[in-house]
Amino acid sequence: MGLEVVSSAIISFSLFLLLASTTQAQSNGVFDVTKYGAGKDITEALANAWKDACASTKPSKVLIPRGTYWLRKVTIAGPCKAAIKLQVDGILQAPVDPNKLSGGDWVNFRYVDQFTLSGSGTFDGQGKVAWSRSTCHRDKNCKGLPMNMRFDYITNALVRDITTLDSKNFHVNVLGCKNLTFQHFTVRAPRESVNTDGIHIGRSTGIYIIDSKISTGDDCISVGDGTEELHITGVTCGPGHGISVGSLGKYPNEKPVSGIFVKNCTISDTTNGVRIKSWPALYGGVASNMHFEDIVMNNVQNPVIIDQGYCPWNQCSLKAPSKVKISDVSFKNIRGTSATPVVVQIACSSGFPCEKVKLANINLAYKGPGGPAKSQCSNVKPIISGIMSASGC
């Protein structure tokens, strides 16, 4: 046998082994991380499985089966050549020490189109130690601790049935996304956890949060500048700080907020219910077309609130009013119980009074000292219709 024939045979055999390895790693478009050498630490196996699946010209799925795995900081990025799914059925655990997660996140999904994240799995941020060391309770813009998940520039995507647990900072941050839905999504962290917003959305369009349960130590859902067409439906919130638009007006050149629809939600044992908040004195902005409807409140401290003098820990100047213009807001069919006598508080800016604020069928009961239930309004002339259980506005 000549050398050329031998060399050709060796090359052919090598290609056969490569193809066999690839076939073993994936079957019917499913890329199972356990076929990529995943042990207790799954980081490299996940990165390699995602790389192969993302390169597929046919729809593919990366599978993390049941089990408990360690996962270090990872970026799961596109663009991919076809629709792609990540099915997480296992428990993924972040390093306990936040110093082992450089930057502001643990798992970062970015630049993926036609993406689905689903499964019965959990992203466990193991945040308890980090909260005990953190000073974030004094700094709303704390950036020293990593978030469980970031979704950056994701389009046409679905996150379903996944749980995020005990994040060190925000559980989920959504930035620059379009047509992204969270469905049957669960956020869990104790009431005392610090700065653990459930889902924060900014500069994104067409975000849907549907039939989800959020229990945490900060806002269940918080809405930043540039958010348009946000639909929150069937969400159970509590404990936490409620569902909040803002805070707005803290930074220059903030984008307008518009098209916020919160409907059929239940909020229990929170410090706020549905809230719009902006900083005094600092920068301008616009927030409009925001509607809160069919909300049940259970023992909520501030059920309905617009606060344009938002100044946590006195970290701002109250000498000048907020420069954020708020208009076209409605609170409709809101019922239940309040933990404080002021059940509706609409405190707008004296420099830019609120316009077109509607209160319809507000039936909130309070039983306790300082009662009965009352409402307070400033720098606004709300349009009131139907039941109004709290006089004052």
Residue partners of 227: CB distance under 8 A and separation at least 6 = 201, 202, 203, 204, 205, 207, 257, 260
Catalytic residue status for 231: no
Q: Given this model, what pLDDT does residue 161 score?
A: 98
Contact yes or no for 157/184 (Cβ under 8 A): no
Q: Tens place of pLDDT for every residue, the chain, 393 residues?
A: 443 433 343 334 333 333 344 444 566 899 999 999 988 999 999 999 999 999 999 999 999 999 999 999 999 999 999 999 999 999 999 999 998 887 789 999 999 999 999 999 999 999 998 898 766 555 555 557 999 999 999 999 999 999 999 999 999 999 999 999 999 999 999 999 999 999 999 999 999 999 999 999 999 999 999 999 999 999 999 999 999 999 999 999 999 999 999 999 999 999 999 999 999 999 999 999 999 999 999 999 999 999 999 988 777 777 799 999 999 999 999 999 999 999 999 999 999 999 999 999 999 999 989 889 999 999 999 999 999 999 999
Question: How far apart, in whole angstroms, are the C-alpha atoms of residue 211 and residue 234?
Answer: 4
Contact yes or no for 246/310 (Cβ under 8 A): yes
Contact yes or no for 300/337 (Cβ under 8 A): yes
Contact yes or no for 235/277 (Cβ under 8 A): no
pTM value is 0.92
Q: Phi and psi of 291, rounded to 5°?
A: -135, 130
Residue listed under structure tokens 């890329």: 31
- The residue annotated as part of the active site, out of 137, 171, 184, 241, is 241
Tokens of 205: 């369009």
